[in-house]
Amino acid sequence: MATPAQDIAGSSNKLTRTVSHSLMVSTSPTAAFHTPSPIATFHSPPSSFGGPQLSRTQTAPKQLKPFDSQDIKILLLENVNQSGKDILSRQGYQVESIKSSLPEAELIEKIRDVHVIGIRSKTKLNEKVLREAKNLIVVGCFCIGTNQVDLEYAARHGIAVFNSPFANSRSVAELVIAEIIVLARQLGDRSNELHRGTWNKVSAKCWEIRGKTLGIIGYGHIGSQLSVLAESMGMSVIYYDVVNLMAMGTARQVPTLEALLNEADFVTCHVPELPETKNMIGAAQFEQMKEGSYLINASRGTVVDIPALINASRSGKIAGAALDVYPSEPGGNGDYFTTELNSWAEDLRSLKNIILTPHIGGSTEEAQRAIGAEVGDALVRYVNSGVTLGAVNLPEVNLRSLTLDESNHARVIYIHHNVPGVLRKVNEILGDHNVDKQITDNKGDVAYLMADISSVQPYQIKEISDALEALSSRILTRILY
């Protein structure tokens, strides 16, 4: 009978391990993965997964189960899509799903017992919260952004963080196209007037978007998709980014933000939340925009200075704006978008030709299904096999899967401080065994080592684990077999 897989964990992981009595075959991708290239400030290059399918002559991969599945506790917050829940539940994990975010005190109580947490944009995993997460090994952000997680603290404590940087790009791009048309035709105001019983058929200051210039700030996955859609509707496209990027279609990159603002009829922001992007559209930038132009922000709430936008709208400098994100956003649905949350909320709501939406850029069935599947698969790969491809705060490391033919093999995962001499000490510990394959990489002060060793017995695995745990460089040790 084949030896079932289990995990020998160090002192930082408090799971009581038991042996799984079923042998499971992985159905997740196990062939070659392509590592993403470094991420630019405003632009995330694409990442691809894939490789050849198993042929009839290949041996099926062996899934490393690092625990009795029922011992793994997963907490999913903010109504994570069913596709993600199903992927995790099929592994046999204990999955608790809550539709909203939690107050910090309640979150701290919940996170103490979980090994995996899944969140969206509202839940804040700061140092205070993560310090209490003694069993946590991985965070799944079921969204694009990861600024709601203290990535540095998580990395220093061996907690991997995954996200879905591309799955909702099309949904956001389509929303922006819709908002461009709605703003150009003043559809929001006309609809509100008719809801109140007022018939107001006008054409003044209503425009076709054909022949107008769209200025895109941040030409990443969303910006470039938006570029293609806008051109297909007859718009001219210019874009500004901090790195030189190949244009889609006939779009043209401009050298400065000011150059874009001077030329564009519609300005749309697609940048991450960084110190460099905070209030990047403020009073000075509104002055640089064309008279009667429009602003759209579906990126991060801190990118636009809202009081400056209110002044620009009241003065007539801009003819309209669409906002999907805000500096402070409610933790759940309800009548919370008030002056208590943002002091300018009432003034913003009173403006003409202003589209206000509650952070719904990626909120489509298609996008949420794709995000759920992408992040769910990444969490399973990490928990079961230690693969970090797609992690935003740890080195991206992958080894091909062990096969069912490779009995008495173990996978050693050693997350450690990036200091001299670690590899020599680890290899001294592994030296009595045959190291079939090994890979190591670092990201700043944190390094990630993964090695597969053969002809190893359970008592020897315990010895290896104890020896690795004793090293001063250790952050987290996991041994899967």
- Asked whether 213 and 264 are in contact (CB, 8 A), the reply is yes
SS3 of 373-414: HHHHHHHHHHHHHCCCCCECCCCCCCCCCCECCCCCCEEEEE
- Asked whether 130 and 337 are in contact (CB, 8 A), the reply is no
- Asked whether 92 and 71 are in contact (CB, 8 A), the reply is no
> In sequence order, what are the beta bridge partners of 356?
323
Residue 317 DSSP label: S
Compute how many other C-beta atoms are within 10 angstroms of the C-beta atom of residue 206: 12
Place of tokens 């700030």: 217
Contacts of 28-31 spanning 24+ positions with Cβ under 8 A: 28/377, 28/380, 28/381, 30/61, 30/400, 30/401, 31/400
> Which of 300, 409, 411, 478 is labelled catalytic?
300
CA distance to 224, 230, 288, 297, 311, per residue, from 251 (Å): 9, 10, 21, 20, 31
- Beta strands (DSSP E) in 57-124 are 73-76, 94-97, 116-119
Amino acid 160 reads A
> Which of 174, 329, 396, 406 is labelled catalytic?
329
Cα–Cα distance measured from residue 99 to residue 116, given in angstroms and rounded to the nearest whole number: 17
Amino acid 90 reads R
Per-residue tokens: 258: 């000011």
Q: Give the number of residues written for the chain.
A: 481
Closest CA to 72 of 53, 50, 89, 97: 89
Alpha helices (H) along 38-115: 82-89, 104-111
Cα–Cα distance measured from residue 117 to residue 137, given in angstroms and rounded to the nearest whole number: 9
Residue 329 annotated as catalytic: yes
Residue 300 annotated as catalytic: yes
Compute how many other C-beta atoms are within 10 angstroms of the C-beta atom of residue 458: 14
- Asked whether 278 and 78 are in contact (CB, 8 A), the reply is no
> Which of 43, 157, 170, 359 is labelled catalytic?
359
- Asked whether 204 and 256 are in contact (CB, 8 A), the reply is no
Alpha helices (H) along 264-408: 283-288, 306-315, 345-349, 365-385
Q: Which residues are catalytic?
A: 300, 329, 359
